[in-house]
Amino acid sequence: MRIAYLEDETSLAGTVTDWLHAAGYEVEWFSSGVRCAQAVESRRFDACLFDWLVPDLSGIDVLARLQIKLRQAMPPVVFTTGRDSEEDVVGVLTAGADDYIVKPLSRPLLLARLEAVTRRRSGAGAATMQRDFGRLTVDHGRRLIALEDQLVALTDRETDLALYLFKNIGRALSREHLIQVVWSLTPDIDTRTVDVHVSALRRKLGLIPKFGWRLTSIYGYGYRLERARGPG
């Protein structure tokens, strides 16, 4: 079984890699989130073990990028992190992770969790995650967005961007970050491409204060999707 392991702390990565090798796993270690995402997009892995806080592209952002690119071919993902609040745990699982381990790591627990997520995934397909936002219904599993119970016609890239925005409500996202996550396999994307897609989503999904939303432009930086007062 082949594991993609993302961890920027070299000593810990060495220890965990030794544990996994001893248990019979084949491990490919990455200290860069971007390089990890590129590898999982291009090669087959049976599971992913991601640290949350990695300098260039966090584990959460690698997960989001892979969900866009791989969709139903996404391998199971276990997160390892020192962040242990209920809000953090819920956030990681809601983002699509299969399990979560708080550091410091225990070898028996880590191996048990990896075995459990791969067993569950082999026995059942990925669950649909649907959320209702007033007039909007966002189905991450089936990649569908409905406005007042009517499916909205979006291009694949508009869908990728919309689903990522709805997973990051209230978070300021730079244009460069959005290009890295949503347009990662297409070279030399102009930041104006992001602006065009954002404008289309505002219009098609009604992401304006009248309907309870703000898809705000942050000057010289990027965008933030947030709830506005009023219906929605």
| Confidence (pLDDT) at 121 | 65
Annotated domain spans of the chain: 2-123, 130-227
130-227 CATH, one of 1.20.58.2050, 1.10.1040.10, 1.10.10.10, 2.30.110.10: 1.10.10.10
pLDDT score of 231: 45
pLDDT of residue 232: 44
Helices (H), 32-174: 33-42, 59-70, 86-94, 107-123, 156-167
List the helix and strand counts (H, then E) for the chain.
8, 12
Q: Which CATH architecture group holds 2-123?
A: 3-Layer(aba) Sandwich (3.40)
Q: Are 130 and 140 in contact (CB under 8 A)?
A: yes
CA–CA separation, 200 vs 191, rounded Å?
A: 15
CB 214 within 8 A of CB 207: yes
| CA dist., res. 177 & res. 173, Å (int) | 6
Lookup: tokens for 136: 């909007």
Mean pLDDT by 10 residues, the chain (232 residues): 94 94 92 94 91 87 89 86 81 84 89 83 55 87 85 89 90 89 72 92 94 92 86 44
Q: CA 192 from chain center: how many Å? A: 23
